[in-house]
A and B are shown apart, each in its own frame.
Chain A
Amino acid sequence: MLSQAVVKRLKEIVGERNVVTDKVGLLTYGYDGTLLSGEALGVVSPTTTEQVVEIVKLMNEQDIKLVPRGAGTNESGGTIPSAKSVVISFTKMTKIHEIDTENFVAVVEPGVINFDLQVELAKKNFYFPPDPSSFKASTIGGNLGECSGGPKCFKYGVTRDYMLGLEVVLPNGKVIQTGGRNFQSEPGYDLTRIIVGSEGILGLVTKVFVRILPIPRAKKTMLALYDKVEDASQTVADIVAAGIIPTTLELMDNLLINTTEDFTHAGLPRDAGAVLIIEVDGYPEDMDGQVKTIGEIASKIAKEFKVAQTAVEVDQIWTSRRSAFGSVARVRPSYGVNDITVPRSNFPKAIGGVLKVAKDFGVTIGVVAHAGDGNLHPLILFDQRNKEETETVHAAEQALCMMALDLEGTISGEHGIGLVKKKYLDKEFTPAAMEAFRKIKRSFDPSNRFNPGKIIDL
């Protein structure tokens, strides 16, 4: 419980309506995209950097931890309240300060929803490349915190590649600026890069300078259907070997084809073993050549290859992909999303590994993957109310992580570590690397005030 005096101070800082302390209200901030939960002492929603500074100072005085939160859609447990903490919600810092298309930069507050930014940018024929599946709900601050990916990473990279500068409130309540409006403004060390993906354990971001790009003049979306998942991964390897860098190489297995079909009726054949969504972008005159090459490559193995002819067809394809996670709820009430990534050459082995885990643990796993990146999202379907089954699922998730590491991969391609994967982190990193993380955390936050317990323990 927060003392009446602290609640009063918080309300003075952010206004009556921006402080939540009632049980029901707190409950809603106790969850994220994972199965974990926690309970905060309070939730406070600042609207300005100055308010954030005041909150940080007050919490420091009171020895209360702060847990930053955007939309809470993350899959890592990164926003789960820790013990004796107040959640600082950035969902009311939603201003788009500036969109400067001539100079390829936008300045936004952290609570701006990715989709809302995309809508504003699209009016000017621009876009912000990182667009995780959650982009209709997730915030730029949250994307930054987890260093989100999305379906375009093969060509365009992840969130870190589009962050030019930040305004950051440090754990001591001081404000610094990292980077600027271009690539060349980091102060000696690349502070922007270390803050991106740090899940709020180093500082609270209150302003974001993002790189924006013109929407490519042309785009082609293709679909290839396969009998087996392994066949699709061969196409991926062949496309890369041909020197083509598609924006997207998305894969769904038979289970996901069927669950998304139930929902979208996009017309994918339910007996297909896998579908590969391939997209290329660039100048219009280059499209035909690339589509032809990809078609020839895919048709060697695929049972069907087609090029979307209309915008409606493109939309239909993407609706299937974007609804993949949600669609499995028809099969079982709960699902656990994994985010393992392996070097592209090990992708077929990783698919084999997923099948083996499913068999070994007797669980149902569907696979969605950013195949070009070697990034797999095995979805384990289960019922959270069944304790025994839930235990099995956790064991299976651990097996998936270990499998990825055995294949020289990583336990997180784009979702982050948070609480969920923290326990496996020392399996991926050597003691020296783990200590490097702690050195960085200690430099920013020696008293462990911001989002304690996420990623690493001090």
Chain B
Amino acid sequence: MSDVNISKLKGIVGDAYVIDFPSEMAKYLKGQGKPAVVVLPASTSEVSSIVKLANEKNVKLGVGGAVVDTQGITGGIAMVMSRMNRILEMDHLNLVAVVEPGLLHKEFLLKVGEAGLNFPPEPYVIETSSIGGCFAIGDSDSKSFEYGPTRTFLLGFEMVLPTGEILEIGNKCIKNVSGLDFIHFAVGSQGTFGIFTKLLVKLLPVPEAKKAVIGTFASMHKANATFNTLIKRNVHPTRMNLINASLAKIAKPGTEGQLVIIDLQGFKESGKNIVNEVASVLTLGGGSDVKIIEEGAEYDQVINGWLKARAELNAKPSEIVEFVVGPMKMPQALSQLEAQTGELGAYPGIIVEGLLGYVCLALPEGTDKLALARKVNKLAMSLGGNVKGLLGHKLKAEVYNDAEMWKQTTSLLSELRQQFDPKGILNPGVSLEA
């Protein structure tokens, strides 16, 4: 039996927003866990009351924007933030917005665009990602070389802590080093320090011009070699991405071969020259169907294609291996990778974010992820990188033969988590052990 007090939850958010019929719950959930109830709060105080209730009864609570990952919350509460989806303020003078976490990332991009402003972080999964999720995951993306990773765009927030207490921090100053930097530390904490209920987001002016260059290549290596040429020529586009053949069809239906997408956001004058320079480099590097895209709708289509391919991999975190090397080391990385995996073009999915030196590898069915990650990490480390994130740290410590460092790191992480969430009720599915 679950300890969830349904009637109390109904008292907090209203009958209509407490769902405990499994068939109705399904659309809000993903994963194998079986929470007892889905609840949709509409305000910070409702979130706080729900968390307090969970805390009293020691009930596990998972949070999501539109969809909640159910891992670790069987018998617990799945909290969906989608009703908290307002833009509370769009401040043109200070280039900031105040947003509720349940607003879909794609909706926010639309609204920001309409206001003539720019919010660079890419949506993780186009259809379902929320702004709260964007900062809870707190990733970098293929635009981070130019704009910085996601955390760069958070200036403050309101958060409900795992105890139900409400914490507000930050202000509209783009420069702020007061106190400890809990503002940016919370980014990427995956809802383990608390639940974002309001986000104070930094925006930028819209670039004067946006253009793209696309081209297809017979091999990943040839395509990737053009990236090195561009970096050597001191050309640093906004995005410099490569999608392997099998995934390229999702990005751009009908594509034969590996697809290169170069995104150039900036000024009109330089844009004209750079776009030609890039197109020549791609052509000389063996690209076919190299095309300069200047028209707005077509540009959007190309970028959306990229996001679609990216989302395809983001949606299956357990079936991918991600690693990073120095951007100029990518040719070696791909060759060595191929020695391990076989022909790259045939792989179910590979994307390369050239400026970041980042590779995401979708694994064929039946792959032993950890075994492959271990090999890939060794390869990456020899090229100035490593497997991404927590897993990467574990594998790095293995390579250093430094079990002590890994132990120190994880005990520090769990101590931090414990300080904020002594009962361990919030997003228990998030592992800090890799």
Contact status B177-A440, CB under 8 Å = no
Most chain B beta-carbon neighbours within 10 Å: one of A147, A182, A188, A342 = A188
Contact status A241-B419, CB under 8 Å = no
In the assembled complex, the CB of A154 is this many whole angstroms from the nearest CB of chain B, namely 7
Contact status B172-A343, CB under 8 Å = yes
**A428 interfacial by beta-carbon distance below 8 Å:** yes
Contact status B185-A433, CB under 8 Å = no
Q: Which of B161, B267, B324 contacts A282 (CB 8 A)?
A: B267
Given contacts A170-B412, A177-B405, A432-B166, contact A190 B138 (CB under 8 A): yes
**A442 interfacial by beta-carbon distance below 8 Å:** yes
**A100 interfacial by beta-carbon distance below 8 Å:** yes
**Contacting residues, chain B, for A375 (C-beta < 8 A):** 173, 175
Q: Which of A146, A153, A237, A240 contacts B175 (CB 8 A)?
A: A153
| Complex Cα gap A174–B322 (Å) | 28
Q: Which of A180, A191, A429 contacts B169 (CB 8 A)?
A: A429
Contact status B326-A100, CB under 8 Å = yes
Given contacts A175-B405, A187-B393, A444-B412, contact A342 B274 (CB under 8 A): no
Contact status A184-B356, CB under 8 Å = yes
Q: Which of A31-39, A314-322, A411-419 contacts B (4 or more CB under 8 A)?
A: A411-419
| Complex Cα gap A437–B419 (Å) | 11
Contact status A443-B415, CB under 8 Å = yes
**A149 interfacial by beta-carbon distance below 8 Å:** yes
Contact status B177-A147, CB under 8 Å = yes
Contact status A440-B419, CB under 8 Å = yes
The residue of chain A having its C-beta at the shortest distance from the C-beta of B234 within the complex is A214
Contact status B168-A433, CB under 8 Å = yes
**Contacting residues, chain A, for B404 (C-beta < 8 A):** 174
In the assembled complex, the CB of A428 is this many whole angstroms from the nearest CB of chain B, namely 6
**Contacting residues, chain A, for B2 (C-beta < 8 A):** none
Contact status A183-B179, CB under 8 Å = no
| Complex Cα gap A342–B178 (Å) | 12
Q: Which of B168, B269, B413, B419 contacts A286 (CB 8 A)?
A: B269
Q: Which of B164-195 contact A (CB under 8 A)?
A: 165-169, 171-182, 184-185, 187-189, 193
In the assembled complex, the CB of A196 is this many whole angstroms from the nearest CB of chain B, namely 7
Contact status B206-A190, CB under 8 Å = no
In the assembled complex, the CB of A319 is this many whole angstroms from the nearest CB of chain B, namely 24
Contact status A440-B396, CB under 8 Å = no
| Complex Cα gap A345–B178 (Å) | 20
| Complex Cα gap A11–B386 (Å) | 38
| Complex Cα gap A416–B273 (Å) | 43
In the assembled complex, the CB of A241 is this many whole angstroms from the nearest CB of chain B, namely 7
Contact status A425-B175, CB under 8 Å = no
**Contacting residues, chain A, for B187 (C-beta < 8 A):** 190, 193
In the assembled complex, the CB of B339 is this many whole angstroms from the nearest CB of chain A, namely 22
Q: Which of B93, B270, B328, B384 contacts A283 (CB 8 A)?
A: B270
Given contacts A283-B266, A410-B178, contact A186 B405 (CB under 8 A): no
**A397-419 toward B: CB 8 Å interface, digit per residue (1/0)?**
00000000000111111111100
Contact status B413-A189, CB under 8 Å = yes
Contact status A193-B185, CB under 8 Å = yes
**B375 interfacial by beta-carbon distance below 8 Å:** no
Contact status A104-B327, CB under 8 Å = yes
In the assembled complex, the CB of A78 is this many whole angstroms from the nearest CB of chain B, namely 11
Q: Which of A150-202 contact B (CB under 8 A)?
A: 153-154, 157-158, 160-161, 170, 172, 174-177, 180-191, 193-194, 196-198, 202
The residue of chain A having its C-beta at the shortest distance from the C-beta of B176 within the complex is A410
Contact status B322-A184, CB under 8 Å = yes
**Contacting residues, chain B, for A181 (C-beta < 8 A):** 324, 326, 384-385
**A62 interfacial by beta-carbon distance below 8 Å:** no
**B409 interfacial by beta-carbon distance below 8 Å:** yes
In the assembled complex, the CB of A126 is this many whole angstroms from the nearest CB of chain B, namely 11
Contact status B177-A158, CB under 8 Å = yes
| Complex Cα gap A189–B188 (Å) | 6
**A244 interfacial by beta-carbon distance below 8 Å:** yes
Interface residues of B toward A: which range? 35 or more
Contact status A289-B269, CB under 8 Å = yes
Contact status A286-B324, CB under 8 Å = no
In the assembled complex, the CB of B182 is this many whole angstroms from the nearest CB of chain A, namely 5
Contact status A409-B173, CB under 8 Å = yes
Q: Which of A100, A188, A439, A456 contacts B432 (CB 8 A)?
A: A188
| Complex Cα gap A182–B206 (Å) | 26
**A215-243 toward B: CB 8 Å interface, digit per residue (1/0)?**
00100000000000000000001001101
| Complex Cα gap A69–B187 (Å) | 29
| Complex Cα gap A283–B179 (Å) | 37
| Complex Cα gap A284–B272 (Å) | 13
Contact status B174-A414, CB under 8 Å = no
Contact status A345-B93, CB under 8 Å = yes
| Complex Cα gap A241–B356 (Å) | 31
Contact status B419-A439, CB under 8 Å = yes
**B265-304 toward A: CB 8 Å interface, digit per residue (1/0)?**
0111110111000000000000000000000000000000
Contact status A416-B405, CB under 8 Å = no
Q: Which of A196, A344, A440 contacts B94 (CB 8 A)?
A: A344
Contact status B266-A244, CB under 8 Å = no
Contact status B172-A408, CB under 8 Å = yes
Given contacts A185-B392, A237-B93, A283-B266, contact A190 B178 (CB under 8 A): no
**A271-308 toward B: CB 8 Å interface, digit per residue (1/0)?**
00000000000111110111000000000000000000
Given contacts A103-B384, A184-B356, A437-B179, contact A244 B205 (CB under 8 A): yes
The residue of chain B having its C-beta at the shortest distance from the C-beta of A101 within the complex is B328
**Contacting residues, chain A, for B138 (C-beta < 8 A):** 190
Q: Which of A237, A243, A442, A455 contacts B205 (CB 8 A)?
A: A243
Contact status A345-B390, CB under 8 Å = no
Q: Which of B95, B179, B413 contacts A455 (CB 8 A)?
A: B179
**A61 interfacial by beta-carbon distance below 8 Å:** no
Contact status B389-A187, CB under 8 Å = yes
Extra contacts, 16 of them, besides A103-B326, A439-B416, A443-B415 (Cβ < 8 A), are: A102-B231, A102-B328, A154-B174, A182-B357, A182-B385, A188-B188, A189-B185, A190-B138, A194-B185, A245-B204, A341-B176, A344-B95, A370-B175, A413-B173, A436-B182, A455-B179
B binding-site residues for A, Cβ under 8 Å? 91-96, 138-140, 144, 148-149, 151-152, 161, 165-169, 171-182, 184-185, 187-189, 193, 204-206, 208, 231, 234, 236, 266-270, 272-274, 322, 324, 326-329, 356-358, 384-386, 388-390, 392-393, 396, 404-405, 408-409, 412-413, 415-416, 419-420, 432, 434
A-B contact pairs, 23 of them (CB 8 A): A104-B326, A149-B177, A174-B408, A175-B408, A177-B396, A181-B324, A183-B356, A189-B413, A190-B189, A194-B185, A198-B181, A282-B267, A283-B270, A285-B272, A286-B269, A345-B91, A374-B175, A417-B178, A432-B167, A433-B169, A433-B182, A440-B182, A455-B179
